[in-house]
Structure 1
Amino acid sequence: MDGRRHGLSDPALSGEGLDRRKPYKPLDVGNGIVSGSLTANGRWLSLGIAHPIHGRIELTTAPPFTGELFVQAAVRAYRASLAESVRLSFGFDLLDDEPSRVELVADSFPYAFVERPQGRFEVTTVAPRGRQGAVQILRIHARAAIVGPSWGGAMRLARAEFTQLTPRAPLPPAPQRNRSKLEDDVFWIEDSGLGAAAAIAQTPALNVDEGGTGTAVLAIALAEDRPTAVKEARELCAQGEALVARELADRRAFWTGLGLTREEDAPIRRGVAYALDEGASRSGDAVAVLADHVILPLVWTRDAYFMCRALLAAGPHEPSVAAVIEGFLRFAFERAERVGGSWPRASLPSGQAMDPVFQLDQQLWPLLLLADYARLTGDLDVHVRFGAAVGAVIQTLLRRRQPFGLIATDETPADDPLTQPYH
């Protein structure tokens, strides 16, 4: 990665600058385990991960939601604030200015450069596959002597805000008693009541002379305990440059393998990248597929089906696609709580039912995805692995069937109540 189109030879995969006149939402980054968002200049807004008790925890700059639950104006205003790209952030201080260029390298990885009197600063952000954190590489081209760089900003560690427009039972309050400390090269935040921790590590300070260059690495890690988070942040920081170079090369090879290298394939590449990196949320051997990793990190089987189906259309025989689909099938049939044998309106990323409301169509999408996966991949063993669970779902539906053959639903697919419960 040399800062000149990132060393990628195919122009379609080298990244086109985003049009600064358009109102972009924050930039997304993830790896199917962690996912988060950044400002256009590469400073952090949030990074989250699945949690076995609370569904999802986040290191975030956003304030908690204090409005009235289910009051649409309050919920929509809070969601809109999360979609704002200009708000409080944390990260490298040298980036805290208007960027000169912003792009998604290989339609996947946020990249920006900021021009300031002190110099030119380029930052690339990647969440390396299989890791519980993310890495930023900052390249410095100094016009004046620079010592550092430093990083800063206010943040909190908390359960994600699952703001919805539809009525549900409120979640029990989540503990929030953050404590933090800077220890040697690592800043950590932990909340023992929440059962979560975050750590931020940086490479040693640089002394860059006027006209000189330098490289700094910042790594963020999330875990259920502080020692694990600190260890992961340090390892990500130490391996940062190699990990970022590997991810850029592998993603380019991924698009080439799928035959999606043309300029007109960019929307497909971006959709597939979002599904793999931010939509998917792995926990153990199960994968939740989120409606949106920032605004509404919950699982609807309906939304998840269409995201998974897009992946199958793009690369049915790609191992990374298969891992997400098989992981979601395990989530749906083995991990997700089914109230009375039925999937709820929405589930937490950890599998607990969020809204125990019966929507007929939500019971069908996992069955259809299983059939699609077997048909498109040729993996017929999935019928054996999940056959008993499929039979249980069908029997639950048949018990709900009315004498005249129809099955009543509590809501439409738009989460709206029905006067006549059939559609």
Structure 2
Amino acid sequence: MSFDQFGTFLQLGVYHPKHGVVLLSPFKQFDGSRFYDAAYVRSYRTQLLNYVERSKPGFGLQIQGEAADATVTTRHPDRMILSYHTQDGVQVQRTVSVEADRTVKQTTVLTTLKSSTVSTPVQLDLGMSLNRASYGQLTEGGPIPLPESLNLFQVAKDGSSFTLHNPNLEARAEGIFSADLADFEGMTFYDDWQTLRDEPVQCKATARVNLIPGVPVTLTLSLRLRSQVPSSRNRPGDHDLQNSTWTLQDPVALNIIHGNLQYLLGNCTIPISESSTCVITDHVALPLGWNRDNYWQVRFLMEVFRHIGRIADPSTARLYQDKIRTVVKGHLNWVFRDAERPQRLWHRSYLATGVPKDGPIFQLDQQCYPLIELCDALGFIPDLKEFARDILHESTIPDIVAILCEKRDSQCGLYPTDETPGDDPVLFPFHFSSHVLVWYVFRRLAGLLKDLGDTDSLQASRLDNLANRTHEATIKHFVATNPKTQTPMFAYLTDGSQEHVFYHDANDIPTVLAKDWGFCKTPELENVWTQTLHFALSPANDGGFYGTGPFGGLGSVHTRGPWPLGYYQELVFAEIKGDTDARAMAWWRIKETSFYDGLFPEAVDGYTGQCTSKAWFSWPGCMIGSALLQDRAGEVLPQIRDKNV
């Protein structure tokens, strides 16, 4: 769910076993003829933010009057509390909760701050549309046609109940409205039946509530959005985390770790069956699964699993570890057993159902991340040993290893890719950070087989040999002198012969982690890596570095401007090199560009630090949260105090 600053609904989404995700929102469905119109796609994504910026309320119960002194509490994973008062002297407390039957309940309690009775207008606005998630991408890889928009709406005359049905989606929303006020005459609607195509419902009614001093009035709106297609989904029961206690002293670090943990578990993990969980990159712009994003999201959960005893009380730690264990195992089950691979390779992105969103575009790095995730899972959660052994003996991993070997160029020994990790086409077929990943995955798989034993199709010695050959070819063909800086460094792209592209992108996380992972085996290679990162974080990195303003830094040609993912790279590089001043500056930028809930956008303005692209983007928050848990930001994490926060 997403809300505006008044607590009304901007989006309510639910898993659909046929369409992946269906949404209830106050604006019309994406225009299915404009998937390749990047400006339109970006504009459509920003509608939620535009509502907030214009103080335009979403659908649901609206309390009239300008709001002031708002506070938001999100301590419980299934509950949000918003409190504010109006200039007319009305105190408003709104609680939005998800009940056990998955009904969403918006409970509004009104009281007067004055000594006399106050009459305040309230409005029930049912202007909403039931749509499929668009899955529109800036780098479109093959749109999935949208079902025809059709909103069939009916409301009771007194506004006590309503239904919204989209038969083309096989989805339905149902609502009930009630008030605990004896003289409340209810909401009177005159247009009680509507059939709309390509437009939201237009339906609202206003009533007045008389508030007597000392007598609260409760207004309740219940909504249930559901698929009408049979599903095997049986959502695992959630633990009661209401009394969770966190003990990390640094409030910003705690907010980033806790906020991204709650967002990831609450909005980005979709259990599609009792044993499988899809992880989506965000719940607004692209509710799709990407192996790349998913790895870093799940890796953050593993870091929390390992370190939670340092940031939370023992009872909270046990509850979250149980939850995280279920999600990690569920996602591995989803990516290895549910995600379809019609051409044997993993596709660029997936619907929650496991159906590929894009065509057979070959992204080299996407083939690597699930394998590393499996290796990591066993390292962080040892009781997954038998689960990991079963996957090793299945066909998926041998298939992916075979595909990589088939793709390997016989002349130069490198592995081609159709696109970069930013989903952009490549000028030359061989991409550096993806080769660091290929080397790393062969090395990690070899280690896993040494622990669990070889299989009929996978042998540790062969994978060790593949890792060594990949490392040799990568060094041979990517180390080159940059004509701008006149220093040896790793090129971004190469043709495998004499041509190179010198660039570095915020999406290329493996490059900054190459030293930690052991890729730089000699002092000479460590120097090459250092020169690469110095170039990456400088104006010489044309199209990748946006240095103007106090928030300037590493970004991407994919979305121009500084990225929080760039701040993460700056932080890690400074920590590895022992540059305390650079680390402090990176941490300052991170703190100042995080939202109030600890999340981060895709890109920011270099002068103001304000979001310029994709407000909901789970990947950077997970990377930064992991860095904090690993003490990359200095002495933030060890500052634990005895009293609970």
Judged with a 3 Å threshold, the aligned counterparts in structure 2 of structure 1 residues 95 and 337 are, in CA distance, closer, same or farther, namely farther
Matches of 1:320 and 1:62 in 2, distance apart?
Answer: 34
Q: 1:55 aligns with which of 20, 28, 34?
A: 20
When normalised by structure 2's length, the TM-score is 0.53
User: Secondary structure of the equivalent of 2:63?
Assistant: helix
Superposition misfits of 4+ residues, deviation over 6 angstroms: 146-149
Q: What letter corresponds to residue 270 of structure 1 in structure 2?
A: G
Superimposed CA distance per residue, residues 358-399 of structure 1 (whole angstroms, 9 cap, x where no aligned partner) = 101011111111111111011212213322132332233223
Which moves more between the two structures, 371-380 or 384-393?
Answer: 384-393
1:272 corresponding residue in structure 2: 261
State the shift of 1:225 in Å: 3.0
- Structure 2: gaps of 5 or more residues: 183-209, 232-237, 307-317, 432-645
State the shift of 1:146 in Å: 6.3
Which moves more between the two structures, 372-381 or 90-99?
Answer: 90-99
Q: What letter corresponds to residue 169 of structure 2 in structure 1?
A: L
State the shift of 1:95 in Å: 6.1
Judged with a 3 Å threshold, the aligned counterparts in structure 2 of structure 1 residues 95 and 42 are, in CA distance, closer, same or farther, namely farther
CA contact (8 A) 1:44 1:89 kept: yes
Superposed, 1:230-379 pairs within 5 Å as 250-253=241-244, 255-256=245-246, 259-260=247-248, 263-264=251-252, 265-285=254-274, 286-316=276-306, 318-356=321-359, 357-378=361-382, 379=384
2:47 corresponding residue in structure 1: 81
Matches of 1:72 and 1:362 in 2, distance apart?
Answer: 23
2:124 corresponding residue in structure 1: 151
The yes-or-no answer on 1:139 pairing with 2:139 is no
User: Secondary structure of the equivalent of 1:346?
Assistant: coil
Matches of 2:71 and 2:89 in 1, distance apart?
Answer: 19
Q: What letter corresponds to residue 202 of structure 1 in structure 2?
A: F
1:112 corresponding residue in structure 2: 82
Judged with a 3 Å threshold, the aligned counterparts in structure 2 of structure 1 residues 148 and 206 are, in CA distance, closer, same or farther, namely farther
Judged with a 3 Å threshold, the aligned counterparts in structure 2 of structure 1 residues 168 and 96 are, in CA distance, closer, same or farther, namely farther
CA contact (8 A) 1:146 1:206 kept: no
State the shift of 1:353 in Å: 0.8
1:40 corresponding residue in structure 2: 5
Q: What letter corresponds to residue 137 of structure 1 in structure 2?
A: T
CA contact (8 A) 1:49 1:58 kept: yes
The yes-or-no answer on 1:178 pairing with 2:151 is yes
Q: What letter corresponds to residue 375 of structure 2 in structure 1?
A: A
User: Secondary structure of the equivalent of 1:276?
Assistant: helix
CA RMSD of aligned residues (A): 2.9
CA contact (8 A) 1:62 1:82 kept: no
Judged with a 3 Å threshold, the aligned counterparts in structure 2 of structure 1 residues 209 and 419 are, in CA distance, closer, same or farther, namely closer
Superimposed CA distance per residue, residues 324-369 of structure 1 (whole angstroms, 9 cap, x where no aligned partner) = 2222112211211213111111111222111121101011111111
CA contact (8 A) 1:367 1:390 kept: yes
1:384 corresponding residue in structure 2: 389
Superimposed CA distance per residue, residues 241-290 of structure 1 (whole angstroms, 9 cap, x where no aligned partner) = xxxxx99x72442x44xx55763411110011111011112222322211
Which moves more between the two structures, 354-363 or 199-208?
Answer: 199-208
When normalised by structure 1's length, the TM-score is 0.78
Judged with a 3 Å threshold, the aligned counterparts in structure 2 of structure 1 residues 391 and 146 are, in CA distance, closer, same or farther, namely farther
CA contact (8 A) 2:85 2:91 kept: yes
User: Secondary structure of the equivalent of 1:215?
Assistant: strand
CA contact (8 A) 1:60 1:156 kept: yes
Matches of 2:425 and 2:56 in 1, distance apart?
Answer: 37
State the shift of 1:63 in Å: 2.5
Matches of 2:148 and 2:371 in 1, distance apart?
Answer: 37
Judged with a 3 Å threshold, the aligned counterparts in structure 2 of structure 1 residues 302 and 82 are, in CA distance, closer, same or farther, namely same
The structure number with the bigger radius of gyration is: 2
1:17 corresponding residue in structure 2: none
1:198 corresponding residue in structure 2: 173
Superimposed CA distance per residue, residues 292-338 of structure 1 (whole angstroms, 9 cap, x where no aligned partner) = 10111111111111111111111257111122222211221121121
- For these two proteins, the number of residue pairs brought into alignment is 366
CA contact (8 A) 1:97 1:114 kept: no
CA contact (8 A) 1:162 1:296 kept: yes
User: Secondary structure of the equivalent of 1:396?
Assistant: helix
More strand by percentage: 1
Judged with a 3 Å threshold, the aligned counterparts in structure 2 of structure 1 residues 95 and 359 are, in CA distance, closer, same or farther, namely farther
1:127 corresponding residue in structure 2: 98
Larger RCO, structure (CA 8 Å, separation 6 or more)? 1
Task: Indicate the percent of aligned positions where both proteins have the same amino acid.
Answer: 25
- Structure 1: gaps of 5 or more residues: 1-35, 229-245
User: Secondary structure of the equivalent of 1:218?
Assistant: strand
Judged with a 3 Å threshold, the aligned counterparts in structure 2 of structure 1 residues 106 and 214 are, in CA distance, closer, same or farther, namely same
Judged with a 3 Å threshold, the aligned counterparts in structure 2 of structure 1 residues 324 and 312 are, in CA distance, closer, same or farther, namely same
User: Secondary structure of the equivalent of 2:127?
Assistant: coil
Q: 2:38 aligns with which of 72, 83, 91?
A: 72
Matches of 1:73 and 1:396 in 2, distance apart?
Answer: 36
Judged with a 3 Å threshold, the aligned counterparts in structure 2 of structure 1 residues 88 and 55 are, in CA distance, closer, same or farther, namely same
Matches of 1:125 and 1:355 in 2, distance apart?
Answer: 35
